[in-house]
Amino acid sequence: MTAAQADLRIDRPSVEDGTVLWRIAKESGTLDLNSSYSYLLWCRDFAGTSAVVRAEGEAGGEPVGFVTGYVRPEDPHTLLVWQVAVDAAYRGRGLAAALLDGLTARLTAERPLSPITTVETTITPGNTASERLFTSYAERHGAAVSREVLFGAGLFPDGPHDPEVLYRMGPLTTPSQ
């Protein structure tokens, strides 16, 4: 971590973190907000493939950012990143990038027989912050980036929704830090 990140630590989420992750997602202004129940479940069932960044000065080391993801059942070498968000007060410190790097490093260390070689995520057109985050991640890890529409706008039954473009980064050739 850098000097701007010295008072922070990357950790696994706990069920108790679910409400904070929901709040951070809600206040992000860009993420599709899932139900609070889904964040609680995520922190229970997918804690091993997700990460939070905690501010040591906050009461109880409350999360100030998170990345949620899962290993694709059909491809155990691929991590699908569901959401990444950082509390507004902590933006500009490179925390989203540190979370992605930290999570993939942890998974690589924990899964030596089935390492993560590809990272996927979906990004709606025009979300330049996410586009920059994931293309810079690919650059840091020596990976190519491919893009294709995964879910067209017409597939969403709950109203207007931009298409979700799949970003596929791989193979990762530079070890995670």
Which phi-psi region, left, alpha or beta, contains residue 95 (left: φ > 0; alpha: ψ -120 to 50)? Answer: alpha
pLDDT at position 28, please? 94
> What is the structure's pLDDT at 177?
45
Radius of gyration, alpha carbons of the chain: 16
The pLDDT of residue 4 is: 52
Per-residue model confidence (pLDDT) at position 141: 97
Q: Count of CB atoms within 10 A of residue 175's CB?
A: 12
Over the chain (177 residues), what is each successive 10-residue block's mean pLDDT? Answer: 68 96 95 95 97 80 95 96 96 95 94 94 95 98 97 92 96 71
* Residues across the chain: 177
Residues 151 and 163 sit within 8 Å (Cβ to Cβ): yes
Domains and CATH numbers, the chain: 3-170 (3.40.630.30)
For the question of whether the overall pTM of this predicted structure is more than 0.75, the answer is yes
The confidence score (pLDDT) of residue 173 equals 87
